[in-house]
Amino acid sequence: MSSYHQDDDADDQELRAGQSGFRVSQDVADRLKEYRQARDLTVTEVVIEALDHIADEIPHAMARAKMPARVTPTRSRFAARGSKGPLKGTGPVQRWWQPTKDDKAVVKEMAAEAGLRGTPGILIAVALNEFLPGGAMHIAGQVRRQITSDETFEVPSDLALARTYGVPREVAKMALMQLQAEGVIPQDPA
């Protein structure tokens, strides 16, 4: 039996002639579908928007996509150990886009800049996760921009972020944790 499961999602219905695949998390796949349908865009158009969104900060986007270390010793001379898993946004859900030959060349160049030679699909997943509304990485990006552009900006609570962005409180908490992990906002006192 094939591992490919066909559903009624337009992202999976077209035959794959001339298309390139990439894998994302279920959350990113759901946000991609919602964003695409709300704006009447193709997956290819959304992928290009997302890649354009991170184009000027590819190394930073890749660093943000890394899961924090499992063990981060305090007051230690030793480096943090372990990782909690794959890059944020990547996952098992297959999606397809139809890049032109020139698009493929640009994405390969961007992937090489990210240190992902031969695996541009990972860069696409990371870009979509940062770009698509409704996810923790997207919210963290919005707050990060506000903090860097306005020194008087006060970081809202997770509840306020959840209400502002229309997401569950847990997603807002993950956005704040991401900003703490990046050192953009201070860690909560223990």
Q: What is the mean pLDDT of residues 5-15?
A: 42
Q: What is the mean pLDDT of residues 39-43?
A: 96
This prediction's pTM: 0.76
Residue 54: pLDDT above 60? yes
pLDDT, tens digit, 9 for 90 and up, residues 72-126: 556 666 666 556 678 888 999 999 999 999 999 999 999 999 988 878 999 999 9
Residue type at position 76: S
* Band (190; pLDDT cuts 50, 70, 90): very low
Per-residue pLDDT at 74: 63
pLDDT, tens digit, 9 for 90 and up, residues 55-71: 999 988 888 888 665 55
Per-residue pLDDT at 3: 38
Instruction: Give pairs for 10-18: CB < 8 Å, separation 24+.
Output: 11/36, 11/43, 11/95, 11/96, 12/94, 12/95, 12/96, 14/96, 16/96, 18/98
3-state percent breakdown (helix, strand, coil) of the chain, nearest 5: 55, 5, 40
Residue 37: pLDDT above 70? yes
Q: Could you report how far apart the first and last alpha carbons of the chain are, in Å? A: 51
Residue 184: pLDDT above 90? no
Burial of 128 (0-12, 13-18, 19+ CB in 10 A): buried
pLDDT, tens digit, 9 for 90 and up, residues 127-161: 999 999 988 888 988 898 899 899 898 889 999 99
Per-residue pLDDT at 75: 66
